Amino acid sequence: MEQRLYLYPVWLRIWHWINAVLFLLLLFTGLSLQYSSVEFSFIDFDLAVTMHNVSGIIITIAYFMFLFGNMFTSNGRFYKAKRKGYISDLIVQIKYYTYGIFIHQKTPFPVTENRKFNPLQKLSYVASMYFLLPILILSGFALIFPEIIIKNVFGVSGIHLTGLVHIISGFSLSIFLFIHVYFCTIGKTPLANFKSMINGWH
């Protein structure tokens, strides 16, 4: 019997599911604000604003939980940039996902105690958690306190630019969300990875 690995500690699972629920809430309320209409709305504009702001603040606190967790536990090692040859590893992984998986090749970077993520996962998680999400959080807080935003940037409203950055980074993360959920079905069974994020064992 294959050895089971305990890869998802309790704090990480709690953070993950809080983050997931809040992100969905933010996505739903954010879309509702961006496409608000007098004739039809899923949710009242003012309620959507409140829910979006409160969820944004909680997801920020959760993000710090994630950052501290990675800083002070061994989970952080999975996000660190790797040795030389990363690009070629990445190409191998992309080839696997676009071809090898269909002809039942073995995964080129199987999960081990020291390698939770394959190269493509590592890239997408680092980009999401250390690049896009901080931009989303910072621009979101700027929009909660718009008086701190520079009024005019080369003739364009600073709030407008901040809004665009917030929307584009939010949209990019929501695309990540869809791909992330789909790729989670690529496990021993389609539900195996989802179960892992509940019980902690891979």
Q: Is residue 2 a contact point for other proteins (CB under 8 A)?
A: no
Q: Is residue 179 a contact point for other proteins (CB under 8 A)?
A: yes
> CA-to-CA distance for 55 and 36, rounded, in angstroms?
19
> CA-to-CA distance for 29 and 45, rounded, in angstroms?
9
Q: Is residue 178 a contact point for other proteins (CB under 8 A)?
A: yes
For 21, the enclosing helix (H) or strand (E) is helix 10-34
Task: Tell which one of 171, 193, 197, 200 touches other proteins (CB under 8 A).
Answer: 171
What sign for the dihedral angle of Cα 133, 135, 137, 140? negative
How many residues in the shown chain lie near other proteins by CB under 8 A? 36
Nearest-approach distance from CB 105 to other proteins, in angstroms: 11
User: DSSP states of 57-74 as a string?
Assistant: HHHHHHHHHHHHHHHHSG
Minimum CB distance to other proteins smaller for 25 or for 168? 168
Binding characters for other proteins, 116-155, by CB under 8 A (x = yes): ------------------------------xx---xx--x
Task: Tell which one of 69, 108, 134, 163 touches other proteins (CB under 8 A).
Answer: 163
> CA-to-CA distance for 31 and 29, rounded, in angstroms?
5
Task: Tell which one of 20, 49, 126, 127 touches other proteins (CB under 8 A).
Answer: 49
Long-range contacts (CB closer than 8 Å, 24 or more residues apart) made by 94-102 = 94/120, 101/186
| Residues at the site binding other proteins, with contacts judged by CB under 8 A | 33-38, 41, 44-46, 49, 97, 101-104, 146-147, 151-152, 155-157, 159-160, 163-164, 167-168, 171, 175, 178-179, 182, 185-186
